[in-house]
Amino acid sequence: GLQFISPVVGSSFKLGDATCTILGPINSSEAELNTYSIVLKVAFGENSFLFTGDAEHSNEQEMLVSGYDLLSDVLKVSNHGTNSSTSLEFLNAVNPSYAVISVGKDKNNGLLAQETLNRILNKGIDVFKTNEKGTIVATSDGSRITFNVSPTESPVVDPEDYIVYKTYSGRFYHKNACADLGSNKIPLLKSEALGQGL
């Protein structure tokens, strides 16, 4: 007999002394149920956490355009680290110190993409993966965040995998100084660009 309430983007509620703000979904599609994922920012004192569910690139773009404050200390990486989310632009806006990835022990059915992991590692973010650490608990006292486990031992990221740029309609990737690039450039890793056939 329970009733459910659809979240209103931009609304907030209290959870003890923490403030929870709904940041998504802004738009959703019945064809892509992951776009219905609720995105929740939890702020407590000076610390903040961003829980993204299985939100995808389209959700990230909507949140970036909305102008909401995405900056957070801890990011729960969306959709198990697949290629469908955690774009570099979104990662730059959140700018977390820590990333938590829910990863199945059985190679997570191939969901965790190396390109996504590389994007996170290249920003110097401490990564916690459940397939290696089990249950991960982050505790905040309002000024400091501690974890019940140490970060995952991060592999060396291929130094050849660096940031390049593409345009919305282009078929090539470019270095930042390229004269053909223009102002509407989209940053991505070279490995991503190659993976997209650029």
pLDDT at 108: 47
Residue 56 confidence (pLDDT) above 80 = yes
Residue 177, pLDDT above cutoff 80: no
The pLDDT value given to residue 158 = 60
Quick: pLDDT tens for 61-73.
Answer: 999 999 899 999 9
pLDDT at position 156, please? 55
Sign of CA dihedral 140, 16, 53, 169: negative
Give 86's pLDDT tier (boundaries 50, 70, 90): very high
Fill in the amino acid letter for 55.
A
Give the C-alpha separation, 130 to 117, whole Å: 14
> What whole-number distance in Å separates Cα of residue 34 and Cα of residue 78?
10
Give the phi and the psi of residue 79 in degrees, each rounded to 5: 50, 40
**Quick check: 102 pLDDT over 70?**
yes
Angstrom distance (rounded) from CA 4 to CA 50:
22
Q: What is the mean pLDDT of residues 12-18?
A: 96
pTM above 0.85, yes or no: no
